[in-house]
Structure 1
Amino acid sequence: MSNIEEQIEKQRQEAREVCGEEGSDSQDCAVAWDTVEELQAEYSHQRSSKPKKTSLEQYCDENPDAAECRVYDD
């Protein structure tokens, strides 16, 4: 489990505790769940921001001497 996943789970537990003690209509409860949502959004952003290689890029990584992978400088 990554660090941000651990933070999300920890914040979820805290939000449940706050809402259980103060009620689900309290301001602190809303803030706690907003924090969970922000962490989840950041986690999602981190996962989607990793550039994915095309099949040609993967092929060229595995076969750098292939004709399709040659790069010519002008």
Structure 2
Amino acid sequence: MSNIQTKIEEELIQARQVCDISGGNSKECAAAWDAVEELQAEASHQRQNKPKTSLEKYCDDNPDAAECRLYED
């Protein structure tokens, strides 16, 4: 996760530089900020992935166990 945070910081710096050079309303500036937003969205998605519970891990290792049975209605 820290790797993506580092990349976000780098893209932020680059976006600011691009906007300073080409202007805040330029296509280059908009594209640079789009790259920042995409990285931030990816970081958000990675944070949403929750680690498996002990039961989920157990069921991965023992799919035939009674505790791991799935019933359909």
Aligned ranges for residues 1-74 of structure 1 at < 5 Å?
2-51=2-51, 53=53, 72=66
| Aligned-residue CA RMSD (Å) | 2.4
**Equivalent pairs, count:** 59
Deviations 1:18-42 (A, max 9, x none): 0000000000000000000000000
Structure 1 residues not aligned, in runs of 5+: 59-70
Structure 2 residues not aligned, in runs of 5+: 56-64, 68-73
Q: Which has the larger radius of gyration?
A: 1
Distance 1:15 1:39 in 2: 13
Distance 1:16 1:28 in 2: 11
